[in-house]
Amino acid sequence: MPAKPPRKRPEKPDAGKAAGRPKRTFSPAEGKDVGERKRTFKPADGKDAGERKRTFKPADGKDAGERKRTFKPTAGKPAGVRKRNVKAAAAKAPEELIRLNKYISNSGVCARREADELIRTGHISVNGKKVTDMGVKVKPSDTVEYNGKALTPGKRVYILLNKPKGYVTTVKDPHADATVLDLVKDATTERIYPVGRLDKSTTGVLLLTNDGDLAGKLTHPSFGARKVYHVFTDKEVTRHDMELIVSGVTLEEGVVGADAISYPEPDDHTQVGLEIHSGQNRVVRRMFEKLGYRVRKLDRVSFAGLTKKNLQRGHWRNLTDKEVSMLKRGIYK
């Protein structure tokens, strides 16, 4: 059987053009060559051909081309000042409650632990009513009184005193001739109190403040505020007794030990340097007395990293911001 001739594909017209349809032509604008096509428009008055810009009618007193949105100002307000009116809240935000003992300590009466005792024994009243519940919370606007005198929390004050002999560290003592507050009476108008205790015969570093939170922190043994004393005794302290002082001496409240002890003067063993964290009353004197020594002189040379350097006996100074920050961060070096 003879082979069929190959089938010829029909010729496809140009894309977009109908087969057999004539090509569309156009007449060029005057001054233009055939094949050059450009849309033209009539320029605005005063403009060159080909330059096109939208125009608008300027506001009164404005130059052509300057456009600014204007508005009618509110009565009593200069033109150009616009403020959104916001409806005031129906009620004020509630006042933050704080514990009563913190309120008292912030007023400079005493530390928070002592404030609890004042509350328990009925020395505190709130808005005219006596309060004995130590868990009570108050508002800043409440009237809190201590023995009938209104308390007001004030700014924080931190005073470092080089205490001399003959002054007691209580705020008030009817039997004392002078208290440490007599030495700092010109330091501040805020009510401040001593942090910890130094007995009447002990000299050296003493901090006074109205910051109850910090005072409570520094006097609590668990926070590790270090105290260093220079002890002068009536006889030489033996190395055996020094070891006993470090290991612990039995006192009325239990066994109390020092953190470290040494001879500051190698040739004079009647003097010892003692480091201790306990803040119990007259603890250093009682430890030595328990071992048969009489303390002739006791001087605290350091408390929580604060020293009496360049501070004469009986003089005081304000703590620096760096020192306050150190105390609050617990850096007791």
| Residues designated catalytic | 199
Contact 293, 140 (CB under 8 A): no
Distance CA 169, CA 215 (A): 14
Q: What are the φ and ψ backbone dihedral angles of 214, each rounded to 5 degrees?
A: -70, -40
What Rg value do the Cα atoms of the chain yield, rounded?
45
Dihedral class, residue 106 (left if φ above 0, else alpha if ψ from -120 to 50, else beta) = alpha
Q: Which among 243, 278, 277 has a CA at the least distance from the CA of 261?
A: 243
**Locus of tokens 């060559």:** 33
Q: Which of 24, 155, 153 is nearest to 101 (CA)?
A: 153
Beta 137-138 vs 129-130: how paired, if at all?
unpaired
Looking at residue 221, the DSSP 8-state letter turns out to be G
